[in-house]
Chain A
Amino acid sequence: MMEHSFLDKYSTLKSPIHSLNPKSKIIVLFLLLIISVSTKPTSFLAFGIYALVVFSLIALSKVPFKYVIKKSLVVIPFVVMVAIFIPFLKKDAVGGGISFGFGGADTISVSYSGLIIFFNILIKSYIGVLTVILLSSTTSFTKLLKGFEELKAPKFMIMLASFTYRYLFVLADEVIKMKRARDSRCFGGKWLWHAKTIGHMIGSLFLRSYERAERVYIAMISRGYEGEFNRIATPSMKAGDFAFITLLLTILLSTRILAA
């Protein structure tokens, strides 16, 4: 183990949100996504309420706001890249437009419906990102997987995610080791030469992973694996979980219905 990296940082804090059953969190936050995505773009108040709900849950969970905002901002550039041109493409131009002085055809104008679509994409993806951050920073990955499994998500996907989580760090360590080995023997050089080295590294990483997969499989069948992954049951949902689901769904659903 060379580096301690955590995908689910803060998931070991103690708070009312952390102690909820992962299943109830998954249900509520998944429904929040669906409700938010299906809300009419012009219901600004509704989006305000959704955001308020998510932020109050974050506050309750004691996960630092700074961390949440920092993480959520990673996604925004991608969304903006995709959506930025929409306001300029719609027909119903408003605001007179900006002319470059040649008159007529080269006027760039912003359209109202385009702006609404832009806002729509931005706010919905942001709420989505916040929701996912909330879920992942209040639930450890293991519990999250169990929650999904008990909610009857496909077993195959769960296994895939669980192996990925387990070996991501092993692979990352391997990359770091290779990088160190390379850097210890490499002093400068042209970038083309570097590209070649990186190519070799990727190739050998692929081979190593392939061989590791084989060894892991051998270790699995040595312990009687026959294609069935039995897991240990988790504690069942408590009164608090049902209260959480009912309360949140009432707020969200009524907002959604009133906003329609």
Chain B
Amino acid sequence: MRNGTAIDVKDLHFSYPDGTKVLTGVNLRIHTGESVAIVGPNGAGKSTLLLHFNGILTGSGDIRIFDMNLEKKNMKKIRQKVGIVFQNPDDQLFCPTVYEDIAFGPNNMQLSVMEVDSRVNEALTTLSISELKDKSAHHLSFGQRKRVAIATVLAMKSDILVFDEPSSNLDPITKRKLVKAINSIDATKVIVTQDLFLAAELCERAIIINHGEVVKDAKMQEILYDAQLLHENNLEFASRCKICVSKPK
């Protein structure tokens, strides 16, 4: 199904109730099976855009998920198609045990007990966290909670997975493991991040968003080596620290 359209956003505008304009005409298209990074500085509107993908926020403009318009009657289906992994796992893990948290989504899909159980176990295995099954989320480390949060969405077998800042607060090795885990998932993936290293590891295409609109939509490499473009958008890729820039004599 590659090259079909998974997410199609046309002229999306959104402002918060106090009048702050966050999105001012976003246009983008994400194809089925693609991994796309949405990058941009703080306050660019990335997270606001992300909350539009499953209709949590509704601005003016057209959004289509596969062949469905984003509107009330399609909402249930769309929320099964689009899984969002939120930035803070504490917001996403609200059940007494890890198992129940992962089963929460599949349960809401009215699946049989057997099917729910097999999906939970599958997700646990994919992220290699089976041993955490009966633990309570507040007894886990941040990295573990992050993986459980991904498992909760993975168990829903959504066709589109959206990650909001998946690498924030993770140490480098945990980040590597996360990259591996995300790469092993077969779905259309949207990674919302400021971490270009992560974006480069996961995506072949990147969309830069700034001041509520798309600044650049191109291949990853093209964006990574355009220092001027990155600088204009408060982004950074190559290590710019003194010790890396200065050559040893």
Beta-carbon contacts of B91-106 to A below 8 Å, as 1s and 0s?
A: 1111111011001110
| Total number of residue pairs linking A and B with CB closer than 8 Å | 86
Beta-carbon contacts of A222-244 to B below 8 Å, as 1s and 0s?
A: 11111010111100000000000
Report the minimal beta-carbon distance from B86 to chain A, rounded to whole angstroms: 5
Beta-carbon contacts of A194-229 to B below 8 Å, as 1s and 0s?
A: 000000000000000000100110111111111010
B96 close to A215 (CB less than 8 A): no
Q: Which residue of A lies closest to B82 (CB)?
A: A222
B103 contacts across to A, CB distance below 8 A = 230, 232
B140 contact from A1, A145, A222, A226, Cβ within 8 A: A1
A165 contacts B by Cβ under 8 Å = yes
A223 close to B156 (CB less than 8 A): yes
Tally B residues with Cβ within 8 Å of A: 39
A223 contact from B97, B104, B113, B140, Cβ within 8 A: B104
Report the minimal beta-carbon distance from B185 to chain A, rounded to whole angstroms: 16
A223 contacts across to B, CB distance below 8 A = 79, 83, 104-105, 108, 152-153, 156
Report the minimal beta-carbon distance from B116 to chain A, rounded to whole angstroms: 8
Report the minimal beta-carbon distance from A11 to chain B, rounded to whole angstroms: 11
B137 contacts A by Cβ under 8 Å = yes
A170 close to B138 (CB less than 8 A): yes
B91 contacts across to A, CB distance below 8 A = 212, 215-216, 218-219
Alpha-carbon distance between A20 and B72 when the two chains are bound, in angstroms: 47
Report the minimal beta-carbon distance from B135 to chain A, rounded to whole angstroms: 10
A218 close to B51 (CB less than 8 A): yes
Report the minimal beta-carbon distance from A149 to chain B, rounded to whole angstroms: 11
A113 contacts B by Cβ under 8 Å = no
B52-70 contacts to A, CB under 8 A, are: 54, 56
Beta-carbon contacts of A152-174 to B below 8 Å, as 1s and 0s?
A: 00000000001101110110000
Q: Which residue of B lies closest to A173 (CB)?
A: B138
B214 contacts A by Cβ under 8 Å = no
B136 contacts A by Cβ under 8 Å = yes
Q: Which residue of B lies closest to A231 (CB)?
A: B100
B88 contact from A141, A142, A215, A232, Cβ within 8 A: A215
B249 contacts A by Cβ under 8 Å = no
Alpha-carbon distance between A166 and B100 when the two chains are bound, in angstroms: 12
A167 contacts across to B, CB distance below 8 A = 94
B192-219 contacts to A, CB under 8 A, are: none
Q: Which residue of A lies closest to B142 (CB)?
A: A1
B141 contacts A by Cβ under 8 Å = yes
B153 contacts across to A, CB distance below 8 A = 223
Report the minimal beta-carbon distance from A161 to chain B, rounded to whole angstroms: 9
Report the minimal beta-carbon distance from A77 to chain B, rounded to whole angstroms: 30
B139 contact from A4, A163, A222, Cβ within 8 A: A4
B136 contacts across to A, CB distance below 8 A = 142, 166
Most buried by B among A220, A223, A230, A233: A223
List 6 interface pairs A-B (beta carbons < 8 Å), by A numbering.
Answer: A142-B100, A167-B94, A219-B86, A223-B152, A232-B99, A232-B100
Additional pairs, 10, CB under 8 Å, beyond known A223-B152, A232-B117: A142-B100, A163-B94, A218-B51, A222-B79, A223-B108, A223-B156, A224-B108, A226-B76, A230-B108, A232-B99
Q: Which residues of B contact A (CB under 8 A)?
A: 51, 54, 56, 76, 79-80, 83-84, 86, 88, 90-97, 99-100, 103-105, 107-109, 113, 116-117, 136-142, 152-153, 156
